[in-house]
Amino acid sequence: MQQAVVVVGAGVIGLSVACKLQETGKYSVAIVAENVPCANTPQSRLSTKWASPWAGAHWRAWASNQDTDLQEMEMRTYREMLRRADDAPESGISVAQGVELYEESPAEPLWYASMVENAREIPLADLPEGIEYGLEYTTLLINVPKYLLYLKSLFVSKGGRIYEQSIEHILDAVRYAPAAGPASALPIVVNCTGLGSRALGGVNDKKLYPIRGQTLLVNAAEAKRTVTRIGSQKFSYVIPRGDGTVVIGGSVDKHKWSCEPSNALSRQIISRALELEPALLPVQSSETLGSRLEMLAEQIVSVGVGLRPMREGGVRLEIEKMRKEGAGLVSVIHCYGHGGFGFQSSLAFADKALELANAL
């Protein structure tokens, strides 16, 4: 007999957890979420409770050299996504060359340099001006709109139901439980509400805060590799989606809740991206820098702003037993607070949530 589960949230974490639970055949799973991915999710649907559609996204380690737990989550997802790029190209995950350029040499060797595939330090002579250290390796590009729809259709195709509803209290999720097991049994609830857990009744986690990020989507069919420049003041990147468009960014503004795009920031993003990856435009030597910037501005498809759901102390991944009035104890598995690393660690966190469910 299957155990009923309600996953709250349909960002990359909620969808990944729901799919992993469903795959085992042990659980009958429903999702309830205020925001559910749809084709061409427009910026007007941005909510402070929903980050996933506005991610880059690529795999580029976020874990520090000291954070071995997050390192494990990122590496496990790296390996699983490499396999998925091969087995399921329709997922929107693809393999590409990744280049990281550091304005200042990292104090210690980067932990992942010895773990990712085809890693190579870029010789000093080949580095652009202002860069002290460079690393290239095989990485993963995630076409975010495609990947979210892929996860959603995987879930729905196996009979999963999705309710597009907001809930006020985490235990309100119980009413969306699929019929499974004895009628009296309470479902397991998995809380994947990201930044939404700040205001969600029964959770109200004030350790959560936003890190605002702004990006532009541009047409640039010739750009194939992902390049990131890491500086003390600025952070820039170019992430091809594999369909002729490229996400360029970015910004990392802690505790900023505004979802309004800044035109001044968009201009800076264009100029930094063109310096980082000249292949964003076809090379024509007679053009001035000014005219190249204008040419790239003409290729803008959309401007995006997203709030990374960051949490002091890291991701909350644990079981909480909560009493539901007149019904008994509900097991709530919390899995939220994935900051700027939700995609590149998603599959490993989904495995961990499954382990917690199996242990109940």
In angstroms, what CA-CA distances link 48 with 167, 259, 308, 312? 15, 8, 9, 18
DSSP string, 59-93: ----S-SS-HHHHHHHHHHHHHHHHHHHH-GGGSE
Size of the site for ligand FAD (CB under 6 A): 43
Q: Is 9 in the site for ligand FAD (CB under 6 A)?
A: yes
Residue from 306, 331, 348, 354 binding ligand FAD (CB under 6 A): 306
Residue from 134, 213, 240, 242 binding ligand FAD (CB under 6 A): 213
The counts of H helices and E strands in the chain are 6, 15
CA angle 222-224-230, nearest 5°? 120
36 or 292: whose CB is closer to ligand FAD? Answer: 36
What's the Rg (C-alpha) of the chain?
21
21-29, 85-93, 254-262, 303-311 -> range binding ligand FAD (CB under 6 A): 303-311
DSSP letter, residue 338: -
**Interface with ligand FAD in residues 48-77 (CB under 6 A):** 49-52, 54-58
Asked if 119 and 135 count as a contact pair (C-beta separation under 8 A), the reply is yes
Has 308 been labeled as part of a binding site? yes
**Interface with ligand FAD in residues 12-51 (CB under 6 A):** 12-14, 32-35, 49-51
* Rounded-to-integer distance, Cα 122 and Cα 133, Å: 7
**Interface with ligand FAD in residues 241-280 (CB under 6 A):** 249-250
CB of 159 to ligand FAD, least distance (A): 20
Has 159 been labeled as part of a binding site? no
* Rounded-to-integer distance, Cα 164 and Cα 154, Å: 17
Asked if 97 and 135 count as a contact pair (C-beta separation under 8 A), the reply is no
Which candidate, 265, 258, 257, places its Cα nearest to that of 236?
A: 265
Has 288 been labeled as part of a binding site? no
189-197, 227-235, 257-265, 326-334 -> range binding ligand FAD (CB under 6 A): 189-197
199 or 297: whose CB is closer to ligand FAD? Answer: 199
**Interface with ligand FAD in residues 129-158 (CB under 6 A):** none
Residues annotated within a binding site: 193, 308, 340
Given the rule CB under 6 A, which residues bind ligand FAD?
8-14, 32-35, 49-52, 54-58, 166-167, 192-196, 200, 213, 215, 249-250, 306, 308-309, 336, 338-344
Output the known binding site for FAD.
Answer: 193
